[in-house]
Amino acid sequence: VLALVTGASGFVGSHLVDALLAEGWRVRRLARPASPPVPGAPRDAVETRVAALDDAAAIVRSGALADVDAIFHVAGVTRAHSAARFRAGNVAPTAALLDAAAVVAPHARGVLVSSQAAAGPAASRDRPRTEEDAPAPVGAYGASKREAEALVAAHAIGARWTIVRPSAVYGPRDRDFVPVFRHAARGVALYPGTRDAWLSLVHAPDLARALVRAATVPAAAGRTYFVAGDEAVAWPEVYAAAARAAGTRVRWAHDAPRWALAAVGAIGDAWSAVTGHDTLAGREKLALGAPRWWLCSAARARAELAWQPATSLDEGMRATRAWYRAAGWL
């Protein structure tokens, strides 16, 4: 069986490539002209086709979709300083890939990697968001991911596609959690606004297995799934687990005040606008960080995909730290 993967050079995409190869798939990537190599995978294990992701005709011409059994659209933009950039990176490529697939691979199964941000946070600690709740996207990022979901649902071949909304993802090759590990190893925890904020987390290899299930379980066609680990985790527990992985514990914790974060966000946005570089400290990230309960339920994925997370938070944090150390990131 042959899979086409977009976003293979990225964090989630590279773990998906690992999972597909481990399960015996042939893997082809659709790369952009400027894409770096796929980290982790042996160089000759992945076939590469190149096209601009927002150009359906170019995707067809590249031959990327010939004979594929499954299409995994993982590519996306998670950091940008304008709504236009989020849309350009998350909406236009989804439209082009669907249009190209309708011509060349209308019977292939498809998986769109969306995000919890397209659905919105939970209303309270004990009511994690489910797929039945009406979407309430957060920020320009969430809006762009939601728009991509709507394209899939409305498309002529959309009934062959599955939408997966991962919670926050952590694991080897991820850059966002590096500061958490760095601080925690020194016994320090810095909370964005309040420490009483909760999130769902999933370890990248667990998410990758769920994506493969989404493309292969017949009943998953046309469905939407949250994918997350079992535990609702408060930020102090994230730092505590990162500290345990380093053989230490948190001795100094601090809630960064919201006004300070807002100021940093404004500075980040201004810097991005002037330099053209996208910064994580933009107001967009603050919008995503504001809700207290980024919790979702993976009950539907567990039941319908016969999937379950295999990694506890402590195991995942230990594996992540070990990888960061081996790679020289810590």
Ligand X SMILES: NC(=O)c1ccc[n+]([C@@H]2O[C@H](COP(=O)([O-])OP(=O)(O)OC[C@H]3O[C@@H](n4cnc5c(N)ncnc54)[C@H](OP(=O)(O)O)[C@@H]3O)[C@@H](O)[C@H]2O)c1
In the bound state with ligand X, the residue whose beta carbon lies nearer, of 73 and 160, is 73
In degrees, to the nearest 5, what angle opens at C-alpha 97 toward C-alphas 93 and 98?
Answer: 120
Q: DSSP string covering 167-232, please?
A: -EEESTT-STTHHHHHHHHTTEEEEES-S--EEEEEEHHHHHHHHHHHHH-GGGTT-EEEE--S-E
Output the smallest distance, CB 36 to ligand X, in A. Answer: 6
Out of 56, 70, 92, 168, name the contact with ligand X by CB under 6 A.
168
Residue 97 touches ligand X, criterion: CB under 6 A: no
Question: Measured from the CB atom, is 263 or 273 closer to ligand X?
Answer: 273
Check binding of 71 to ligand X (CB under 6 A). no
| 153: three-class secondary structure by DSSP | helix
Residues 102-131 that bind ligand X (CB under 6 A): 113, 115
Q: Tokens representing 10?
A: 């990225």
Please identify, among the stretches 5-13, 181-189, 300-308, 315-323, the one whose residues bind ligand X according to the rule CB under 6 A. Answer: 5-13
Choose among 195, 293, 203: nearest CA to 245: 203
Q: Measured from the CB of residue 311, what is the shortest distance to ligand X in angstroms?
A: 15
Where would I find the H helices in 224-257? 235-245
Q: Where are the alpha helices (DSSP H) in the chain?
A: 11-22, 56-62, 83-90, 92-104, 139-154, 178-185, 204-216, 235-245, 258-275, 283-289, 299-304, 313-327
Tell me whether residue 37 or residue 187 sits nearer to ligand X (CB atom).
37
Based on the shown chain and the rule CB under 6 A, indicate whether residue 139 belongs to the binding site for ligand X: no
Q: Minimal distance in Å, beta carbon 13 to ligand X?
A: 6
Which of 3, 17, 35, 162: binder of ligand X (CB under 6 A)? 35
Q: Is position 87 an interface residue for ligand X (rule: CB under 6 A)?
A: no
Q: Pick the stretch among 166-174, 213-221, 266-274, 321-329 that binds ligand X (CB under 6 A).
A: 166-174
CA atoms within 13 A on the CB side of 108: 27
Q: Which residue of the chain is nearest ligand X when measured via CB?
A: 10
Burial class (CB in 10 A: 0-12, 13-18, 19+), 235: buried
Q: Which of residues 4, 11, 99, 297 is near ligand X by CB under 6 A?
A: 11
- The answer to whether residue 163 forms part of the interface with ligand X (CB under 6 A) is no
Specify the residue, 85 or 266, whose C-beta has the smaller distance to ligand X: 85
In total, the chain counts a number of residues equal to 330
Residue from 2, 21, 26, 32 binding ligand X (CB under 6 A)? 32
Q: Would you count residue 12 as binding ligand X (CB under 6 A)? A: yes
Question: Which residues contact ligand X (rule: CB under 6 A)?
Answer: 7-13, 31-32, 35, 53, 74-78, 89, 113, 115, 145, 166, 168-169
